[in-house]
Structure 1
């Protein structure tokens, strides 16, 4: 609901960066900026896009700092994005993907230590499987959407209980008509 969306704006405002994947950019064309709260600085918008599929006209590239990590050597696409004001960082190719740990280390070298991830199940799952998330902030609406709804995280096929991701509940709070659940990830 509206209160949950405003709450997300507050989380963005306190973050150094907002990280997403190309799947979310292509599906939703998000801005990932702070719009409803007066802030001194906008968070850096970070996109993981292995093949540089992002369009220079994507809203996330417009009107603010955007950092794009890729493994693509396509200089024409890189130049078009740079001309729009985005910074493109080419990383070593790890099985056709951007290495997540390298991305987080690069962000830390830039002084970016608090990163809010607003992504789909592919990137969320990859970050969880790699043990690179500390906390989850989940919003739960009082609605059942069925099996066609978007999943939270692709964790692959979990065949043994030992493969689970354990959470430690931190807080459950009403935000308008929704619930906000905050949980730390227990790294085993």
Structure 2
């Protein structure tokens, strides 16, 4: 990425509206961990992290889950650095067999629902015994797929969001909170 894009991203961050600060996000992650523990402890689940957005949440969630589990990842994207989603592209499928497993998909955001619905369908096609979904942010927008997350950390309006795994043109995933681009309505 160019220095100009990095400067643009920094300017976007400086002008953005903080919707959920770091303490609020951490409290939501702890609440999610309790819900997951109550539901999946004792089921030997496989946590499946969609790259790249889910990596920050997964990294924060894993140490809070005090039971045996396995972890793997999948890389399917509709964005590829763009601000709006396109056709789903599969880059990496899980190396762990999903057959007979309880799978928990851990992702950053549920917006239009196309990517998460495709991931759920993939897990079912691979023979998963059960598929659960967890998202840090449920964006209140028009869904293009019929799906709701089983575990939701926070809600946010239909704006372009970044931080805590969500990006702005490939940058700002590392921002310790959930921010909305100033004046921007999402086009995802």
More strand by share: 2
Q: Same fold (TM over 0.5)?
A: no
| Higher RCO (CA < 8 A, seq sep 6+) | 2
Q: Using structure 2 for the length normalisation, give the TM-score.
A: 0.35
Q: Using structure 1 for the length normalisation, give the TM-score.
A: 0.35
